[in-house]
């Protein structure tokens, strides 16, 4: 076997240097750098375009369709469609004017100095350094949450916090880790801590409490409500962070239950609270947060979906990393699997799982009850990767929790899913999931043109907040009054709806 | 197909109206109510439990099968009162522990126990230890069956055991536990007498606990 050649990629403006084997997909490499793929990396939009400054990257047919001859000439490429065949220097378009990503320009009051926006997730952290006078992102850093070694999900984190010194340990870990992320941002953008004026953090209620040093005991049992979910403000010096003496660190307020400021930020980013018509936002993670509503009233909830969408508790499940089956399609009655990194398949990630089950329903390898056809115990996707009967059951639990949660919220709002004008999907999984498959398995029963993958709305919202701190102090009092948290565990109809939603829709039903 | 087989099939298929019709027909033909339990209802629910354990059945199929079984038992129970021949397999006080509201699993376990001939006192969800103690006293229960689905509420199973001990009832009643995060070793570590991985295992555990008492 010949040794595969490796290539070097330098990413601008972050200055990050990567090495990867020839043939590796730019999508996989850049995803890990925080680049988003709005259409799920299928070459259907232009969201992930990058400019190749040095080196060559072939443009395939999909790119020639989406990019003008002039753009191609100027070096523009769709990252999701490129594989590595040369050393490259690429410039990321996404962060250039990230604040202005949508059609209605975001009017921000330019102010001197720099700011940092942090999305503090249970699993991952993302931080961006932003120039507050131009809106330009100067550097980005991602990391796995260092607390994760003390429990992968929030409940186990809470359990650890309950033990002696547990909470203090978690608090110390996360404060230090974010300080070090910020230091890295400063180093790569060659700026000093003195220039940083504001830091805005967002995260779910447990992350909020653990960072801010608030007792998490009320979040560990019924009714899972804390009284201290408001805006928390710190001086950088209090946290022993090496920033400007006058700089302020804010953790934005939560919305109730486990629904935190990451969802508040998502509401800001998708402008849900300004919509005249009914719209929704969904974050398909372990806690499956959902928001629906309009400019006068919004309802939110978290739905306990479990980790199936992240590939956990699936026998051959894995994260969306090299070797994961990320897409499955049916061609001539046969399964065609796409594997991240173009290597031999090792497992299946969340988007692959949803696709696979949708394909299975299509070719009747899976019945609408969720049962594998012919009473088989497992079903081969691509040797050696199989789905077991139990894997399908896990997906049924997760999708039923989300589907039941959204039905209950929509009922509160007095509407139905079909009447939503648009549903935004937040987060990485929302970016990768194929919308037609989500519909086929009954997770989101909407035509694909009514579902928009919206990327990391938590981070975008945190960044927007950096610019509105002057008028608002970050407590969003008025907005929060319009958002009602609905505790699903108090809802009498939940169990019946949940059980109803466990089955898959029986056949392709086109409703529009 | 015998009338017992017919009833058994109706339950497994989750056909409540058929189960009701077959039960009435059987009684009309002179079958004694007590005979239908060991010959149709119990084996049917055993089969449902097996299918659930082997992932052939999922929650909806189990729930509709249980509904069909109930269509039969609703007719039979009133007829059994005072029947010397039918002895209850035992009385089980069940519930989901304090702080926890998950009850789908607990309900399935309760239904399976009920079809296996146990008397069920279901205390519902978010059950404080005192309530368990009171129910054990009131009903002279043989078994306490507690369910928990959250890592943070599992500890409350221990609280139930402690409360039973404090009330001087620990020797009179067996305690079994279950639910997704609960394991055999956890059950042992808190001093429970039994553990059930799934609903059919729960029935076996309950049977053996009563037999050992
Ligand atoms: C006594 O002897 C025995 C013997 C055997 C026994 C037994 C007793 N009891 C059960 N068994 C056994 O037999 C049964 C049949 O085989 C089995 O029962 P199970 O109960 O295991 O299985 C059931 C048949 C099916 N399984 C279920 O019913 C649970 C499914 C999932 C999706 C789930 C649901 C449906 C719900 N939830 Co919740 N929920 C999740 C679950 C995630 C998942 N994908 O599994 C889980 C359990 N929830 C979780 C969480 C965190 C929460 N939930 C919450 C709420 C809810 C709903 C109300 C929305 C709903 C419950 C509805 C209801 N009436 O029960 C909240 C807490 C509410 C509360 N106070 O309890 C909330 C805190 C989240 C929130 N956002 O508010 C997680 C627990 C994580 C952890 N490490 O502890 C979770 C794993 C999802 C996740 N996010 O990861 C066996 O365990």
Determine how β-strand A289-293 pairs with β-strand A279-283. antiparallel
Q: How far is CA A487 from CA A162, A269, B101, in A?
A: 23, 24, 12
Phi/psi of residue A44, nearest 5 degrees: -95, -15
Helix pair angle (B104-115, A494-501), 10° resolution = 80
The angle at the Cα of A387, spanning A386 to A393, to the nearest 5 degrees, equals 170
* Tally of CB atoms within 10 A around A475: 15
Task: Please return the burial class of A230, using the count of CB atoms within 10 Å of its CB with bins 0-12, 13-18 and 19+.
Answer: middle
A259 close to A301: Cβ distance less than 8 angstroms? yes
Q: Which of B58, B61, B101 sits opposite A489 (nearest CB)?
A: B101
Confidence class for position A507, pLDDT limits 50, 70, 90 = confident
Could you give the CA distance from residue A431 to residue A452 in angstroms, rounded to a whole number?
A: 9
Which CATH number is A6-92's, of 3.10.20.30, 3.20.20.150, 3.40.50.280, 1.10.8.50?
3.10.20.30
Q: How far is residue B201's CA from residue A231's CA, in Å, rounded to a whole number?
A: 48
Instruction: Measure the CA–CA gap between A465 and A472, rounded to whole angstroms.
Output: 9
How high is the pLDDT of residue A104? 35
Mean pLDDT of A129-145: 86
In chain B, whose CA is at the least distance from the CA of A373? B56
Q: Cα-flanking dihedrals φ and ψ of residue B196, to 5°?
A: -130, 125
**C-alpha distance across the termini of chain A, in Å:** 52
Q: Give the mean pLDDT of chain A.
A: 87
Buried b (16+ CB within 10 A) or exposed e, B52-79: beebbbbbbbbbbbbebbbbbbebbeee
The binding-site residues of ligand 1, defined as CB within 6 angstroms of any ligand atom, are A 153, 155-156, 222, 224, 257-258, 286-287, 302-304, 306-307, 397-398, 401, 488-489, 494-495, 498; B 52, 59, 100-106, 108-109, 145-147, 149-151, 176-181, 196, 198-199, 202
Q: How confident is the model at residue A211 (pLDDT cuts 50, 70, 90)?
A: very high
Name the residue among A263, A300, A257 with its Cα closest to residue A412.
Answer: A300
Q: Pairing mode, if any, of strands A196-203 and A114-120?
A: parallel
pLDDT band at A99 (very low <50, low <70, confident <90, very high): very low
Q: Can you spell out the DSSP letters for B128-191?
A: -HHHHHHHHHHHT-SEEEEE--STTTTHHHHHHHHHHHHTT-TTT-EEEEESTT--HHHHHHTT
Identify which of B55, B59, B152 has the shortest CB distance to residue A159. Answer: B152
CATH of domain A114-270: 3.30.420.480
CB atoms within 10 A of CB A452: 18
pTM, two decimal places? 0.83
Contact predicate A285/A258, CB 8 Å: no
DSSP state of A96: T
Q: How far is the CA of A22 from the centre of ligand 1 (A)?
A: 45
Least confident span in A97-111, A311-325, A367-381: A97-111
Name the band, by pLDDT with cuts 50, 70 and 90, for residue A381. very high
- Chain B, 40 to 59: residues with Cβ < 8 Å from chain A are 55-56, 58-59
The three-state secondary structure class of B97 is strand
Q: Tens digits of per-residue pLDDT, A479-499?
A: 999 999 999 987 888 989 999
Of B55, B60, B99, the CB nearest to A502: B60
Domains and CATH numbers, chain B: 3-80 (1.10.1240.10), 90-212 (3.40.50.280)
Nearest CA in chain A to B56: A371
* A233: pLDDT strictly greater than 80: yes
Q: For chain A, what percent of residues have pLDDT higher than 90?
A: 55
Element (H, E) at A219: none
Chain A residue nearest residue B63, CA to CA: A499
Which of B14, B98, B152, B158 is best to mutate for the A interface (most A CBs within 10 A)?
B152
- CB half-sphere exposure, A249, CA atoms < 13 A: 21
Cβ(A111)–Cβ(A67) below 8 Å: no
How confident is the prediction for chain B on average, in pLDDT?
92
How does DSSP assign B22-64, residue by residue? Answer: HHHHHHHTT--HHHHIIIIIHHHHHHHHHHHHTTSS-HHHHHH
CA of B180 to the centre of ligand 1 (A): 7
Q: Is the peptide bond before A13 cis (omega within 30 degrees of 0)?
A: yes
For chain A, the domains span: 6-92, 114-270
Contact A375 B56 (CB under 8 A): yes
Tens of pLDDT, residue by residue over A15-66, are 778 898 888 888 878 876 666 665 566 677 777 788 899 999 988 988 988 8
Average pLDDT value for residue range A122-128:
88
* Minimal-distance CA residue to ligand 1 atom 48: A304
Q: What per-residue confidence (pLDDT) applies to B83?
A: 66
Report the alpha-carbon distance of residue B174 to residue B132 in Å, rounded. 12
CA–CA–CA angle A336, A402, A326 (5° rounding): 20
Cα–Cα distance for residue pair B201/B209, rounded to 1 Å: 12
**What DSSP string runs through A240-281?**
T--S-TT-EEEEPPP-BTTB-HHHHHHHHHHTGGG-SS-EEE
CA distance A441 to A395: 9
> Mean pLDDT lowest for which of A101-115, A227-241, A486-500?
A101-115
Distance from CA of B32 to the nearest CA of A (A): 35
Three-state DSSP at A380 gives strand
Specify the DSSP class assigned to residue A192: -
pLDDT at A360: 96
Identify the burial level of A242 via C-beta atoms within 10 angstroms of its C-beta, where 0-12 means exposed, 13-18 middle and 19 or more buried. middle
For residues A48 and A37, the answer to whether their CB atoms sit within 8 Å is yes
Output the pLDDT for position B85. 57
User: Taking a C-beta distance cutoff of 8 angstroms, is the pair A26, A52 a contact?
Assistant: no
**pLDDT category of residue A470 using cuts at 50, 70 and 90:** low
**Inter-chain residue contact A222 with B59, CB threshold 8 Å:** no
Is the pLDDT assigned to residue A12 strictly greater than 80? no
pLDDT at A325: 93
Mean pLDDT of the region B169-197: 94
Residues in A touching B151 (Cβ below 8 Å): 155-156, 158-159
State the DSSP string of A41-94. SSSSSSTTEEEEEES-----HHHHHHS-HHHHHTTEEEGGG-B--S-EEEEEST
Task: Report pLDDT digits (tens) over A330-374.
Answer: 999 899 999 887 788 999 989 999 999 999 999 999 999 999 988
Phi, psi of B121 (to 5 degrees): -115, 100
For residue A156, say if its preceding peptide bond is cis, omega within 30 degrees of 0: no
Cis geometry, peptide bond prior to residue A223 (ω within 30 degrees of 0): yes
- pLDDT at residue A34, as a whole number: 62
């Amino acid at each position: 076997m010949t040794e595969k050649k490796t290539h070097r990629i330098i990413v601008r403006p972050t200055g990050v240097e990567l090495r990867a084997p020839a043939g590796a997909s730019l999508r996989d490499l850049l995803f890990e750098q925080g680049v988003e793929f709005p259409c799920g990396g299928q070459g259907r939009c232009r969201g992930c375009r990058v400019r190749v400054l040095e080196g060559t990257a072939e443009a395939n047919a999909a790119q020639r369709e989406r990019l003008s001859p002039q753009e191609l000439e100027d070096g523009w490429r769709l990252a999701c469609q490129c594989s590595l065949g040369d050393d490259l220097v690429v410039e990321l378009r996404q962060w250039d004017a990230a604040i202005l990503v949508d059609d209605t320009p975001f009017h921000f009051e330019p102010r001197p100095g720099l700011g940092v926006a942090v999305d503090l997730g249970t699993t991952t952290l993302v931080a961006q350094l932003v120039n507050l006078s131009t809106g330009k992102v100067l550097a980005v850093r991602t990391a796995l949450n260092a607390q994760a070694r003390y429990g992968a999900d929030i409940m186990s984190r809470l359990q650890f916090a309950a033990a002696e010194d547990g909470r203090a340990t978690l608090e110390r870990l996360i404060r230090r880790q974010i300080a070090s992320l910020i230091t890295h941002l400063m180093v790569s953008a060659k700026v000093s801590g003195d220039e940083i004026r504001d830091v805005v953090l967002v995260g779910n209620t447990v992350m909020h409490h653990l960072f801010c040093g608030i007792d998490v005991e009320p979040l560990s049992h019924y009714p899972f409500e804390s009284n201290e979910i408001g805006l928390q403000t710190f001086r950088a010096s209090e946290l022993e962070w090496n920033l400007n003496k006058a700089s302020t660190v804010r953790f934005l307020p939560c919305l109730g239950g486990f629904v935190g400021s990451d969802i508040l930020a998502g509401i800001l980013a998708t402008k849900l609270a300004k919509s005249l018509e009914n719209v929704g936002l969904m974050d398909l993670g372990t806690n499956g947060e959902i928001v629906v509503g309009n400019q006068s009233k919004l309802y939110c909830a978290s739905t306990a979906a479990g980790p199936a969408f992240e590939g956990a508790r699936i026998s051959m499940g894995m994260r969306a990393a090299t070797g994961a089956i990320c897409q499955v399609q049916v061609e001539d009655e046969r399964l065609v699997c796409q594997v991240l990194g173009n290597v031999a398949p090792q497992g299946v990630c969340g988007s692959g799982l949803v696709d696979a089950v949708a394909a299975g329903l299509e070719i009747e390898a899976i019945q609408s009850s969720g049962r594998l056809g012919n009473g088989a115990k497992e079903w081969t996707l691509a040797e050696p990767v199989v789905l077991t009967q139990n894997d399908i059951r896990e997906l049924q639990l997760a999708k039923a929790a989300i589907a039941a949660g959204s039905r209950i919220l929509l009922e509160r709002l007095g509407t139905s899913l079909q009447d939503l004008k648009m549903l935004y999907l937040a987060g990485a999984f929302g970016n990768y999931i194929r919308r037609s498959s989500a519909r086929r398995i009954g997770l989101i029963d909407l035509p694909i043109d009514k579902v928009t993958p919206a990327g990391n709305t938590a981070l975008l919202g945190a960044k927007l907040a950096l610019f509105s701190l002057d008028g608002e102090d970050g407590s969003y009092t008025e907005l929060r009054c319009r958002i009602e948290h609905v505790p699903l565990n108090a809802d009498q109809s939940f169990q019946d709806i949940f059980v109803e939603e466990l089955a898959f829709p029986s056949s392709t039903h086109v409703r529009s | 197909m015998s009338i017992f087989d017919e009833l058994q099939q109706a339950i497994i298929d989750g056909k409540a109206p058929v189960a009701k019709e077959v039960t009435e027909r059987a009684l009309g033909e002179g079958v004694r109510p007590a005979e239908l339990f060991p010959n149709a209802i119990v084996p049917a629910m055993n089969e449902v439990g097996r299918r659930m354990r082997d992932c052939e059945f999922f929650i909806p199929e189990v729930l509709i099968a249980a509904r069909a079984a109930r269509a039969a038992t609703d007719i039979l129970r009133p007829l059994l009162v005072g029947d010397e021949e039918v002895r209850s397999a035992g009385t089980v006080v069940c519930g989901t522990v304090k702080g926890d509201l998950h009850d789908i699993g607990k309900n399935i376990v309760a239904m399976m126990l009920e079809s296996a001939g146990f008397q069920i006192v279901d205390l519902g969800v978010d059950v404080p230890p005192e309530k368990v103690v009171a129910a054990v006293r009131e009903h002279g229960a043989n078994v306490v069956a507690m369910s928990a689905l959250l890592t943070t509420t599992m500890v409350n199973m221990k609280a139930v055991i402690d409360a039973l001990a404090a009330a001087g009832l620990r020797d009179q009643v067996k305690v079994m536990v279950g639910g997704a995060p609960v394991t055999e070793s956890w059950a042992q570590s808190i001093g429970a007498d039994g553990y059930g991985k799934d609903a059919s295992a729960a029935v076996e555990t309950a049977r053996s606990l009563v037999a050992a008492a």
